[in-house]
Amino acid sequence: MTQDKQTQMARQIANEIGAAPTQVLAAVALLDAGSTVPFVARYRKEATGGLDDTQLRNLSERLGYLRELSARRGVIAASITEQGHMTDAIARALADAATKSALEDLYLPYKPKRRSRAIIARELGLGPLFDLILERRSADPDVLAKNFLTKEVPDTKTALEGARDILAEGLSENAALLGRLRSHIADHAILVSQLVLGQEVAGAKFSDYFAHSELMCKAAGHRVLAMLRGRNEGFLTLDLAIDPDAPRGQSSCEIACASPFAPLGQGLGDAWLRAAASWAWRVKVKTSLTLDAMSEMRTHADTQAIGVFARNLKDLLLAAPAGGRVTMGIDPGIRTGCKVAVIDATGKVLTTDTVYPFQPKNDIKGASQTLLQLIQTHKVALIAIGNGTASRESDALLATVLSSLPPAGPKPTKVTVSEAGASVYSASALAAAEFPDLDVSLRGAVSIARRLQDPLAELVKIEPKSIGVGQYQHDVDQSRLGKSLEAVVEDAVNAVGVDLNTASAPLLARVSGLGVGLAEAIVTHRNMLGPFKRRQEVLKVPRLGPKAYEQAAGFLRIPNGDEPLDASSVHPEAYDVARKILAVCGRDLRAVMGDSATLK
């Protein structure tokens, strides 16, 4: 890619993310060199002018799109040039195309295609007939067609249909026309949802959309996703109404399709051109553009929903941890009982049990005694209750149990915790390795308890899409959703930092510059040789080189290590600067690190 193209691309991205082109160019250089978004956002502010992680994520996503656009532009230009059709005008149009759809519209006339009706018509010699109709507007097209009858074209109806096919293909490949039609559809099309006959009862949950219509451009993303789900499940039909009240031949789109031929006169040729353009819109052009518009609508709805899901996930991950206290986790259930696990302040499992306070056993007394005994025996300080089936009933049961504790003594605090993804984690290979001797059903209770102690450390063990962060989570583009949620997890982990000596492999894997392989290697090294005393010791881990260390070091913490700054977010490359600042201030390093007022 040339320097001019890079500068142009940087200028475009800068306008979109509210930055200067120089900032974008600096960030692109860092990302292309292998730096991660968290590392650049935290430790390369001086290079990027302070771009934050949100701006960098948007920059990275937009950069990928524009590079794909540029690559596709090159392929199309090469194809048109090879065919011998390239002109200065086409080259300028390709260079000015700002979207993939605009680029593909320009390529349509030159794109290798299967043998179409228009191609067949030209092979039958009907191209000159179309040209003749354009030239002789006052003549009767039916009369003109008689001069083109052959064995393959037995009558004038067949001849005129061939000429019409040629006209329709020309319109469907007219980039300027398609652009105007797309804009009109985007601004004026009406999204219409209707009930599939006979599905009133089965599709009752979609009753709001049995007879629903609204401007497509005003349709909220959640409504679009609801209607798309209803259609996919066979309860609704969806369509776009474009100029529904206009008489045939007089809609804005039909007039636009006729405009390249300027059929404004009263001749029979003008009338034929208007009718043929109207037919081309209804039969060929409208269908294609409607599908494109519905796809764009879906993409826009996905973007809105994924943004909401990402914010929901971020809130879950960055929820305040309750800290290292003995915690009881309860995975509520009715028929199968409530699974109970008690963990110590470090998350280690102390004991597990199952109680059956609800139907069919209704052993409220036995369940209450078991829970009370566990609370008193292990001095439980926190109780995490999963928010699934029987959650409220379990909460009420525990309220009764806690009321029986001695009034003078401490009482555990009970908190309702999201249990989304707990069953996925329980059956995972990671859970099996972590709790090989624990029944699958009880692993969920352990996970719920740990989520209260440290939400981030526990939730990173679960695939982000399994955590459950939105109603239409499974309806949106799963690839885009996965990338967005993975980015949220990465940003959250690196915003907080991890304890190098206690973090699990799944948590370490989310640290900037690391991954599953290096994270497992760190844990293996730690288990064999003991805890790390300095950040630099991580370089002794097999396959962890200087580049990975540079990206990860600032996010790895070592409390009470040999180097006080290893417990901070200060990157090792800036240790000397930090010490010089402290020397000028005349302050002790360890004293300052514990003094939040001074640090502010």
Residue 51, pLDDT > 70, answer: yes
Q: How far is Cα 409 from Cα 108, in angstroms, rounded to an integer?
A: 79
The residues facing 212 across adjacent strands are 193
Which residue in the block uniquely carries the two structure tokens 């679960």? Answer: 462
- pLDDT digit string (tens) for 543-575? 999 999 999 999 999 988 889 899 888 999 999
List the structure tokens of 129.
Answer: 């007939």
Structural contact between residues 456 and 207, judged by C-beta atoms closer than 8 angstroms: no
Asked whether the domain spanning 327-453 has the same topology as the one spanning 117-310, the reply is no
Give the pLDDT band of residue 595 (cuts 50, 70, 90). Answer: low
DSSP state of 564: G
Residue 123, pLDDT > 90, answer: yes
**Start-to-end CA span in the chain (Å):** 45
Section 332-357 average pLDDT: 92
- pLDDT digit string (tens) for 356-390? 999 888 999 999 999 999 999 999 999 999 998 88
Handedness of CA 170, 171, 177, 178 (dihedral sign): negative
Give the pLDDT band of residue 422 (cuts 50, 70, 90). Answer: confident
Fold of the CATH domain 117-310: Tex N-terminal region-like (1.10.3500)
Name the packing angle between helices 127-135 and 156-172 (round to 10°). Answer: 80
Task: Give residue 598's pLDDT.
Answer: 58
- pLDDT digit string (tens) for 84-96? 999 999 999 999 8
Please list, in sequence order, all residues whose beta carbon lies within 8 angstroms of the beta carbon of residue 42, skipping any fewer than 6 positions away: 494, 554, 555, 569, 571
pTM metric for this prediction: 0.80
Q: What's the CATH class of domain 497-599?
A: mainly alpha
Q: How far is Cα 32 from Cα 401, in angstroms, rounded to an integer?
A: 58
Residue 192 has phi, psi (to 5 degrees) of: -120, 125
DSSP, collapsed to helix, strand or coil, labels residue 471 as: coil
- pLDDT digit string (tens) for 165-221? 999 999 999 999 999 999 999 999 999 999 999 999 999 999 999 999 999 999 999
CA 486 to chain centre: 9
In whole angstroms, how far apart are CA 13 and each of 17, 56, 64, 304, 397? 6, 11, 11, 20, 56
Helix (H) or strand (E) holding 505: helix 505-508
CA 37 to chain centre: 17
Q: How far is Cα 498 from Cα 65, in angstroms, rounded to an integer?
A: 33
Section 460-464 average pLDDT: 86
Structural contact between residues 332 and 444, judged by C-beta atoms closer than 8 angstroms: no
Fold of the CATH domain 3-110: Arc Repressor Mutant, subunit A (1.10.10)
Q: Is the peptide bond before 263 cis (omega within 30 degrees of 0)?
A: no
Q: How far is Cα 511 from Cα 33, in angstroms, rounded to an integer?
A: 18
Closest CA to 20 of 65, 63, 51, 42: 51
DSSP, collapsed to helix, strand or coil, labels residue 248 as: coil
Q: What is the largest CA-CA distance in the chain?
A: 108
Please list, in sequence order, all residues whose beta carbon lies within 8 angstroms of the beta carbon of residue 356, skipping any fewer than 6 positions away: 337, 338, 362, 363, 366, 367
Q: Where are the domains of the chain?
A: 3-110, 117-310, 327-453, 497-599
DSSP, collapsed to helix, strand or coil, labels residue 383 as: strand
Which residue in the block uniquely carries the two structure tokens 């409504």? Answer: 223
DSSP, collapsed to helix, strand or coil, labels residue 133 as: helix
Q: How far is Cα 148 from Cα 165, in angstroms, rounded to an integer?
A: 15
- 327-453 falls under which CATH superfamily? YqgF/RNase H-like domain (3.30.420.140)
Residue 145, pLDDT > 90, answer: yes
β-strand pairing of 382-386 with 413-417: parallel
DSSP, collapsed to helix, strand or coil, labels residue 178 as: helix
Task: Kindly write down the DSSP assignment for every residue of 449-466, as one continuous string.
Answer: HHHHH-HHHHHTTS-GGG
